[in-house]
Amino acid sequence: MTNKLSLQELQKHLLSDDPMSAPISELVKALVNGTDSSHNLPESHYQIDPRDGEITIFSASRANRPHSTADKPAEVTTGDNCPICAGNLTSVCHVQPLSDGASFITENLYPVVHAHGLMKVEPDEVGSHAIVRGGNAFGGHFLQWTSTEHDKDWHNMPLEDLVLTMEQLAIMERKLLTEAVAMPKSAGSNGETRGYLSIFKNFGVKAGASLTHGHQQILFANVMCRSSFNDWRFYARHFENFSDYMLRENAEDLMVKDYGDVVLMVPYFMPRPYTMLAVVKQSDHSHLYHLPEKTLADLTEAMRDAILAMRAELVKDGKPEAFNYLVHTGPGCGLYVEFMPRADAHGGLEMQGTWVCQALPTVCAERLRQNLNGHSQRPTDS
């Protein structure tokens, strides 16, 4: 029997009748005053590695997170030990009804950043040395649960439902980026946005997932993550969005599928087998909430197909189904989604910044194309 969180249980945790329509200031106030994460707050400071600019945000409380992925891989674990299915929820920010059940957004119980960080004035101390090369980290950390059903996620949900979850992400993205007036203006912003937003998914133990109930993470902060900085730096160097560059320079035989407004491809610099990019062709769209309805639907279909094909090829290779995806938005990138399988370990060379890939991009692209052609008549895969 499938474990399923009831809509009635969700309603008990709603911040208000319709929190997505309320100003973001009211949402933040409600979270700060009645937050479920008050006992798990991060230290709210970050440090910068002077060698390459990599950022470390400190949050010791995240070591206390519950794990439902510890004993079994995500593809076979049931919801019997799932705190979400048991109704152990934080504040619910929004509920999106689906054809069966709903997707919903909650506060992260163990946040990496929190609004409390904005209130910190004096730097913390680490040993006897004051923090002088970093600063305060603040913002909001949320989770989007793909479905109230434990075993439903991107690989086996109807495409129409997945589009609704992407629309929900776009609404949340717009509110965070444009209404958070307390957030300092983003460097490189287009005038309306504040802060920096990261949307990503961890699937499987090796990819950093702690819970098996399907979810995506939303991180809004005053600190730009490294992937966003790399996109911005690329633009500063080349006066061109990275998405435009890839659409022009990536070889034709590395294209997996063209969806009309979006192209799914294997990058010529593929660091791991089956790495893919889903690139939006109109590079003036820099955020999900900028996308027209058709483009968002095309992007959703490309993401669903990439996950299906990537998981299937990992299984054929006898490797665990572990992957991350990152939604690249903001200055300098256009808009694209990066899919990164995590089947191969990182060795010494990888830790030094040199990837060793045990497959060729052309071979992987052909296998992925064949996989999608074989699934072309099936909207979902169980």
The CATH H-level (homologous superfamily) assignment of domain 229-374 is HIT-like (3.30.428.10)
Q: pLDDT tier at 382 (50, 70, 90 boundaries)?
A: very low
pLDDT tens digits for range 192-201:
778 889 999 9
Map tokens 């095309």 to a residue.
Answer: 298
- pTM exceeds 0.85: yes
Helix (H, G, I), strand (E, B) or coil at 198: strand
Q: What is the DSSP annotation of 297-319?
A: HHHHHHHHHHHHHHHHHHHHTT-
Classify each residue of 251-265 as buried b or exposed e, where b means 16 or more C-beta atoms within 10 Å of its C-beta: eeebebbebebbbbb
Q: What pLDDT, on the 0 to 100 scale, is given for residue 69? A: 56
Q: What pLDDT, on the 0 to 100 scale, is given for residue 187? A: 66
Q: What pLDDT, on the 0 to 100 scale, is given for residue 96? A: 93
**Domain extents in the chain:** 7-224, 229-374
Q: What pLDDT, on the 0 to 100 scale, is given for residue 35? A: 60
pLDDT above 50 (res 25): yes
Q: What pLDDT, on the 0 to 100 scale, is given for residue 139? A: 84
Q: What pLDDT, on the 0 to 100 scale, is given for residue 165? A: 97
pLDDT above 70 (res 146): yes
| CA end-to-end distance (rounded Å), the chain | 15
pLDDT tens digits for range 208-247:
788 899 999 999 988 888 888 899 899 999 999 999 999 9
pLDDT above 90 (res 263): yes
pLDDT above 80 (res 166): yes
pLDDT above 80 (res 112): yes
Q: What pLDDT, on the 0 to 100 scale, is given for residue 380? A: 43
Q: What pLDDT, on the 0 to 100 scale, is given for residue 205? A: 82
Q: What pLDDT, on the 0 to 100 scale, is given for residue 234? A: 93
pLDDT tens digits for range 334-361:
999 999 998 777 788 777 777 788 899 9
pLDDT above 90 (res 55): no
d(CA 213, CA 5): 11
178-182, 258-262, 335-339: range with lowest mean pLDDT: 178-182
d(CA 320, CA 342): 8
21-26: average pLDDT: 72
Mean residue pLDDT across the chain: 84
pLDDT above 80 (res 375): no
CB-based burial label for 378 (10 Å; 0-12, 13-18, 19+): exposed
The letter for the amino acid at 327 is V
d(CA 378, CA 113): 40
**Domain range 7-224, its CATH number among 3.90.700.10, 3.40.1260.10, 3.40.190.170, 3.30.428.10:** 3.30.428.10
Which sign does the torsion angle of CA 200, 322, 231, 59 carry?
Answer: positive
Q: What pLDDT, on the 0 to 100 scale, is given for residue 76? A: 43
Q: Specify which of 85-99, 179-193, 252-266, 309-323 reaches the highest per-range mean pLDDT.
A: 252-266
Q: What pLDDT, on the 0 to 100 scale, is given for residue 381? A: 44
Of the two residues 277 and 333, the one the predictor is more confident about is 277
Percent of residues, the chain, with pLDDT higher than 90: 43
CB-based burial label for 121 (10 Å; 0-12, 13-18, 19+): exposed
The letter for the amino acid at 275 is T
